[in-house]
Amino acid sequence: MIKNINYLFVTCFGIGSLRFAPGTITSLVTTIFLYSLFHIINLSSKSVLIILLIIFLYSFYAVSEYIKYKENKDPKEVVIDEFIGQSIPIYLYEISHGTLKGSQEAILFYLYIFILFRFFDIKKPFPANFFDKKFKNSLGVIIDDVIAGLYVVLTLIIFMVIKSKFFL
C-alpha cells in the first residue's frame, strides 16, 4: 500500500506517467492548484506553507523509496520535484509586500512564473546542473528544481527593481 501511495505522490497522481510533457503539465497543474488555494478557496498563506512543507519533506522519502531499485535515478515520471520547484516562486509572490493580490494581477504573475520556471528547469543553470548530475538520489531529483524555482524568484526581483527604477 505504501508503494502505491508513493507512486501516486511522486507522479502527482499519475501526471508523471503521461507520454507528453509530464513536467510541464505538472507545473501547469501546480500553478492552477496554488491559484485555487490562494484566490478561490482563500486559504491563508500559513496553511499553504504547512501543506507545501509537508509535501517537500515527504518527497525526499517518497522519491528515495521510488527510485531505490531503479536503474535511472531521475525517472521522467517523478514530477513531484516540478510541483515543489513551481510552488516556491508562487508562494513567495503571494506573501510578498504583505498586500492582497488581485486575481488578474495574480494570473499574469503566475503565467510569468510558470514560463520562467519551465525555462530554468529545462536549462538547469549552475548550480542546478551540478546537483542534477552529481547526486543520483532524492536530493539530486528535488534540489535542482528548488534551485530553478529560486532562479525564478531572483529573475522577478531583478525585473521589479529595474521596473521601479526606470519605468515608474
Q: Which residues contact 85 (CB under 8 A, 6 or more apart)?
A: 27, 117, 121, 145, 146, 147, 148, 149
Q: What is the pTM of this model?
A: 0.90
pLDDT at residue 160, as a whole number: 84
pLDDT at residue 61, as a whole number: 94
pLDDT at residue 91, as a whole number: 96
pLDDT at residue 152, as a whole number: 97
* Domains identified in the chain, total number: 1
Range of the domain at 28: 2-166
pLDDT profile of the chain (168 residues), mean per 10: 86 92 96 95 94 96 88 83 97 83 85 96 89 84 95 93 81
